Structure 1
């Protein structure tokens, strides 16, 4: 899929105005200054700290696929370059897209690693098909230098999937997970992202089939950095269910934003939907923004709820931890890490099965 410079120049980062609900909190100027029109679009591969079945480092790719996973080239077509300028940049810089088909149940996670450590604009693109299978998937999204764009497309039917995404950024990062959930598909997703200079992290889920289900837990963290975390859930299938709960943290002049949309269309009768968004500001000078949105068009609905909160860190809890011999940074890290562990029961199961020491990587986020 190709886009030329002329078509790219006509694209904007967002198509709508600067209203309070759809305002863009990503610092797009930084992406403009570090776009594929100004940076090299190829980079060398380096050794990454995580072992994976698919390792995309710089412009190179390595594959060591488990039995039951088939590899080809191409995309599922769930994302298009004409959608926005950042996706235009992604496809403009993209050299090759890879397509995976999970043909049988996986006992251990399929591990995907995306990494960049050079001043360049590099795009990585993985599409995954999963029909009538059970499979855990772990995605590591790491950027140290330059600008990296990672797009994951997922199409599942009658499948049971667990997805753990760990983002560790220092530079600029664009991430898009776009998933289509067919009939009787269940997805349990946990996302943990430490923002870099500017991290734009977006997850789109379309619950198209009857009895499709999504449980999403997210934890964006900005420690002297910026992360704009978007979750979009669209429900079309009858008796579909979704629940999104995000708890973000801002510290040391960090900037954490969560914008979460849940929309139940008229065809999604007898469905349930909810989005809960909370940001904890750990100190003065940090920013937290929470914007959950719920829209229900179906006349018959099982349940629907949404809530928003932006609050200051509990100083009494901090005093208690420090009185036990921890310094301020240790106390903050312990608190944030403890919240992250509590957000999802399946995190430990995925951590225990994953290749490499994901526990150390998660600790390194804090």
Structure 2
């Protein structure tokens, strides 16, 4: 199915005048809202300065949904229905970067999953020209078991990719692979209804500046999220934000992130977990650890846990920024490995451990970890 079969009548819009009034984010004293993304780079390469159309580039990934440049192709399996519009979980007035996203966005697509999927639903977002492009996908899942793989790739220019997800009584396995060279903005915003279980693994190879944000709202009773993340800044910059908001009773939120910074790289993880008053009997964890693997690299770890109810099953948070264990490196090099091989083995091992909680996507997760770490270190 071609993208030109749809119109943009169901896409939120914003005028240039309204866009000019927006800021990228609200500033304050808390480190969780301090600016770690180099927004100046996005301003210098905004859609007010760059073209907003691009040809589809070469993508060597077999995808069910392929968004490349301004082109879109669909090859959907049985049990996935396609329509247009957004789910309303994100709006252009929220920030200047989302303002840019909707200012440029031509079409948004909705995928409604009505049957269990054995094979992963593969979504690819890709850009290989110096332009500003927006891609937007919405996913609805109810009473189904679904594995999903999302590839977010930016080689040139600036790409904004937004995914809105609504799930109820569903089991989802979600693998997100971000691989960037230039500027990228990514937002996953998910609403999890009662009985929904999500296992997610995210690995990000930062580009010139990668702003990657995942927001999960656990709204229904008994909804669960297990999130594992691995941001990697190797001669690049990645600002990784995770926000888990627990509203429903007996919800479970578990976030564990291990980041790496190398070769003057810049890796930041900011993780928020908030348990609201109505989330009685819930448990929440946010764990954030960043390793700087050489001098000159920057690592930032900022987890924050807030609990508004006295009826809590468990709540914990931890944080660390440390240097790579040179004794471990010496041990590996003494056995014939080069420094590059030893570092790759170390990062690869962490990635394998983080991806173990996936089931249907386990082999895909491991191959993605290998591809990123072996190609970068």
Q: What TM-score range do you get, normalising by the shorter chain?
A: over 0.9
Q: SS of the counterpart of 2:361?
A: helix
Q: Is the 8 A contact 1:225 1:253 kept in 2?
A: yes
- For 2:375 and 2:336, locate their aligned partners in 1 and report how far apart those are by CA, in whole Å: 21
Q: SS of the counterpart of 1:41?
A: coil
- 1:177 aligned residue: 188
Pair 313,279 (structure 1): closer, same or farther in 2 beyond 3 Å: same
Q: Select 1:45's aligned residue among 56, 62, 66.
A: 56
Instruction: Please tell me whether residue 224 in structure 1 is matched to residue 231 in structure 2.
Output: no
Stretches of structure 1 that go unaligned for 5 or more consecutive residues are none
Structure 1 stretches of 4+ moved >6 Å: none
1:91 positional shift: 0.5
Pair 348,365 (structure 1): closer, same or farther in 2 beyond 3 Å: farther
- For 2:302 and 2:161, locate their aligned partners in 1 and report how far apart those are by CA, in whole Å: 24
Q: Is the 8 A contact 2:351 2:369 kept in 1?
A: no
1:360 positional shift: 6.1
Q: Select 1:337's aligned residue among 343, 348, 363.
A: 348
1:180 positional shift: 0.1
Q: SS of the counterpart of 2:33?
A: coil
Instruction: Please tell me whether residue 319 in structure 1 is matched to residue 325 in structure 2.
Output: no
Q: Deviations over 1:290-343 (max 9, x none)?
A: 000000001200000001001110001111111222221121111111111111
Stretches of structure 2 that go unaligned for 5 or more consecutive residues are 1-11
Aligned residues between the structures: 364
- For 2:141 and 2:267, locate their aligned partners in 1 and report how far apart those are by CA, in whole Å: 33
Q: Deviations over 1:17-51 (max 9, x none)?
A: 25333201000000000111110111100220211
Q: Deviations over 1:259-300 (max 9, x none)?
A: 000000000001000100000010000000000000000120
User: TM-score, with normalisation over the residues of structure 1?
Assistant: 0.97
Q: SS of the counterpart of 2:269?
A: strand
Q: Is the 8 A contact 1:46 1:57 kept in 2?
A: yes
Pair 49,190 (structure 1): closer, same or farther in 2 beyond 3 Å: same
User: TM-score, with normalisation over the residues of structure 2?
Assistant: 0.94
1:15 positional shift: 2.0
Q: Is the 8 A contact 1:193 1:221 kept in 2?
A: yes
- 1:145 aligned residue: 156
- For 1:120 and 1:348, locate their aligned partners in 2 and report how far apart those are by CA, in whole Å: 37
Instruction: Please tell me whether residue 167 in structure 1 is matched to residue 181 in structure 2.
Output: no
- For 1:195 and 1:253, locate their aligned partners in 2 and report how far apart those are by CA, in whole Å: 12
Pair 329,353 (structure 1): closer, same or farther in 2 beyond 3 Å: closer
- For 1:360 and 1:116, locate their aligned partners in 2 and report how far apart those are by CA, in whole Å: 23
- 1:234 aligned residue: 245
1:344 positional shift: 2.4
Q: Is the 8 A contact 1:351 1:358 kept in 2?
A: no
Instruction: Please tell me whether residue 94 in structure 1 is matched to residue 105 in structure 2.
Output: yes
Q: SS of the counterpart of 1:70?
A: strand
